[in-house]
Amino acid sequence: MNIFSGLFKTRDAPKNRTSGSAYSFFMGASTAGKNVNERSAMQMTAVYACVRILSEAIAGLPLHLYRYNDGGGKEKAINHNLYKIIHDEPNPEMTSFVFRETLMTHLLLWGNAYAQIIRNGKGEIIALYPLMPNRMKVDRDEHGALYYEYMVSQDDAPTNKGSSVKLSPDEVMHIPGLGFDGLVGYSPIAMAKNAIGLAIAAEEYGSKFYANGAAPSGVLEHPGTLKDPSKVRDSWSQTFGGSSNSHKVAVLEEGMKYTPISISPNEAQFLETRKFQIDEIARIFRVPPHMVGDLEKSSFSNIEQQSLEFVKYTLDPWVSRWEQNMCRSLLNNNEKKEYFIKFNVDGLLRGDYQSRMNGYATARQNGWMSANDIRELENLDRIPAKLGGDLYLINGNMTKLQDAGIFANNPKTLNEEEEENEEQEILELQESKDSKPRKRRSNRENS
Once rounded to an integer, what is the mean pLDDT over residues 311-324?
92
Asked if residue 424 has pLDDT above 70, the reply is yes
Q: What is the pLDDT of residue 430?
A: 73
Beta bridge partners of 4: none
* Bigger pLDDT: 293 vs 161: 293
- Contact between 179 and 134 under an 8 Å Cβ cutoff? The reply is no
Best CA proximity match to 314, nearest among 290, 278, 340, 294? 290
pLDDT digits (tens, 9 = 90+) for 114-143: 999 999 988 899 999 999 998 998 888 888
For the chain, what is the mean pLDDT?
Answer: 77
Span 75-95, average pLDDT: 93
For strands 172-176 and 164-167, give the pairing.
Answer: unpaired
**Mind listing the pLDDT tens digit for each residue in 151-195?**
887 666 655 556 888 999 999 999 999 888 888 888 888 888 888
Give whichever of 181-190, 304-313, 413-422 has the largest mean pLDDT.
181-190
- Note the pTM of the prediction, 2 decimals: 0.69
Predicted local confidence at residue 10, as pLDDT: 43
Percent of the chain with pLDDT over 90: 27
Residue 352 has pLDDT above 60, yes or no: yes
> Domain limits of the chain?
15-139+171-215+266-349, 217-223+230-261, 351-398, 411-447
pLDDT value of position 9? 44
Q: Where residue 412 falls among pLDDT bands split at 50, 70, 90? A: low
- Whether the pLDDT of residue 16 is over 60: the answer is no
Please tell me the predicted confidence (pLDDT) of residue 50. 93
Residue 70 pLDDT > 90: no
Distances 124 to 87, 117, 129 between C-alpha atoms, Å: 16, 10, 15
Contact at 8 Å (CB) between 372 and 389?
yes
pLDDT computed for residue 91 by the predictor: 94
pLDDT at 104 over 90: yes
Q: Are 24 and 193 in contact (CB under 8 A)?
A: no
Task: Measure the CA–CA gap between 340 and 2, rounded to whole angstroms.
Answer: 40
Q: Which of 22-36, 69-83, 93-107, 221-235 has the lowest mean pLDDT?
A: 22-36
Highest mean pLDDT among 149-153, 235-239, 340-344: 340-344
**C-alpha angle with apex 316: 310 to 322, nearest 5 degrees?**
135
**Winning range, highest mean pLDDT, from 16-25, 102-111, 423-432:** 102-111
Instruction: Give me the mean pLDDT over the 345-353 stretch.
Output: 71
Residues 366, 398 contacting (CB under 8 angstroms): no
Higher confidence at residue 249 or residue 140? 140
Residue 276 pLDDT greater than 70, yes or no: yes
Confidence at residue 385, expressed as pLDDT on a 0 to 100 scale: 84
pLDDT on residue 368: 84
DSSP per-residue letters across 178-227:
S-SSSSSPPPHHHHTHHHHHHHHHHHHHHHHHHHTTT---EEEE-SS--S
43-72: average pLDDT: 90
Would the pLDDT of 11 be above 50?
no
Asked if pLDDT for residue 85 goes beyond 90, the answer is yes
For residue 310, what is the DSSP state?
A: I
Arithmetic mean of pLDDT, 401-412: 56
Q: Residue 362 has what pLDDT?
A: 87
Residue type present at position 229: P
